[in-house]
Protein backbone atom coordinates (compact mmCIF):
# COMPACT_ATOMS: atom_id res chain seq x y z
CA UNK A 1 0.00 0.00 0.00
CA UNK A 2 1.31 3.42 -0.97
CA UNK A 3 0.93 6.39 1.34
CA UNK A 4 1.18 9.89 0.02
CA UNK A 5 2.97 12.43 2.15
CA UNK A 6 1.19 15.74 2.17
CA UNK A 7 3.35 18.83 1.75
CA UNK A 8 3.78 20.71 5.01
CA UNK A 9 2.87 24.37 5.25
CA UNK A 10 4.30 26.03 8.37
CA UNK A 11 2.83 29.31 9.53
CA UNK A 12 3.47 31.40 12.59
CA UNK A 13 0.71 31.10 15.19
CA UNK A 14 0.49 34.89 15.44
CA UNK A 15 -0.78 35.18 11.84
CA UNK A 16 -3.32 32.33 12.09
CA UNK A 17 -7.01 33.26 11.87
CA UNK A 18 -10.12 31.30 12.81
CA UNK A 19 -12.01 29.35 10.16
CA UNK A 20 -15.33 30.70 8.92
CA UNK A 21 -18.27 29.04 7.14
CA UNK A 22 -16.51 28.97 3.73
CA UNK A 23 -12.76 29.06 4.43
CA UNK A 24 -10.35 27.08 6.60
CA UNK A 25 -6.64 27.23 7.45
CA UNK A 26 -6.81 31.03 7.24
CA UNK A 27 -3.69 33.11 7.87
CA UNK A 28 -2.31 36.55 7.10
CA UNK A 29 0.59 37.48 4.85
CA UNK A 30 2.10 40.93 4.63
CA UNK A 31 2.71 42.50 1.27
CA UNK A 32 6.37 43.00 0.40
CA UNK A 33 5.61 46.19 -1.54
CA UNK A 34 3.07 47.98 0.71
CA UNK A 35 1.61 48.01 4.21
CA UNK A 36 -1.28 45.79 3.13
CA UNK A 37 -2.07 42.46 4.76
CA UNK A 38 -3.75 39.70 2.75
CA UNK A 39 -5.49 36.53 3.85
CA UNK A 40 -4.64 33.12 2.42
CA UNK A 41 -7.06 30.26 3.05
CA UNK A 42 -8.47 27.03 1.69
CA UNK A 43 -12.03 26.70 0.42
CA UNK A 44 -13.79 24.10 2.57
CA UNK A 45 -15.90 22.55 -0.21
CA UNK A 46 -13.75 22.75 -3.32
CA UNK A 47 -10.38 22.50 -1.49
CA UNK A 48 -8.58 25.17 -3.55
CA UNK A 49 -6.36 27.84 -2.00
CA UNK A 50 -7.08 31.54 -2.43
CA UNK A 51 -5.64 34.92 -1.50
CA UNK A 52 -7.40 38.20 -0.83
CA UNK A 53 -4.89 40.15 -2.96
CA UNK A 54 -5.88 41.88 -6.21
CA UNK A 55 -3.85 39.44 -8.34
CA UNK A 56 -5.84 36.45 -7.17
CA UNK A 57 -9.15 38.29 -7.33
CA UNK A 58 -8.52 39.36 -10.95
CA UNK A 59 -6.53 36.48 -12.41
CA UNK A 60 -6.83 33.61 -9.90
CA UNK A 61 -3.04 33.67 -9.62
CA UNK A 62 -0.80 35.51 -7.18
CA UNK A 63 2.77 35.68 -5.96
CA UNK A 64 1.72 34.90 -2.39
CA UNK A 65 0.37 31.45 -3.28
CA UNK A 66 3.31 30.77 -5.58
CA UNK A 67 5.79 31.70 -2.80
CA UNK A 68 4.13 29.09 -0.57
CA UNK A 69 4.12 26.44 -3.34
CA UNK A 70 0.32 26.44 -3.39
CA UNK A 71 -1.50 26.05 -6.72
CA UNK A 72 -3.30 28.90 -8.42
CA UNK A 73 -6.37 28.89 -10.67
CA UNK A 74 -8.59 27.12 -8.11
CA UNK A 75 -6.76 23.78 -8.26
CA UNK A 76 -7.47 21.66 -5.15
CA UNK A 77 -4.53 20.74 -2.96
CA UNK A 78 -4.30 19.20 0.48
CA UNK A 79 -1.53 20.19 2.89
CA UNK A 80 -0.42 19.42 6.39
CA UNK A 81 -0.73 22.82 8.10
CA UNK A 82 1.50 23.35 11.12
CA UNK A 83 1.35 26.41 13.35
CA UNK A 84 4.74 27.35 14.73
Q: In the chain, where are the structural domains located?
A: 8-83
Residues 30-51: tens digit of each pLDDT: 998 999 999 999 999 999 999 9
Full-model pTM = 0.89
Helix (H) or strand (E) holding 57: helix 54-59
Q: Is the pLDDT of residue 6 over 60?
A: yes
Residue among 57, 49, 61 nearest 24 (CA)? 49
Amino acid sequence: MYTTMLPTLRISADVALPDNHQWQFRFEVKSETSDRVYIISQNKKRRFWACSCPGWKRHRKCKHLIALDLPCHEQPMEVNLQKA
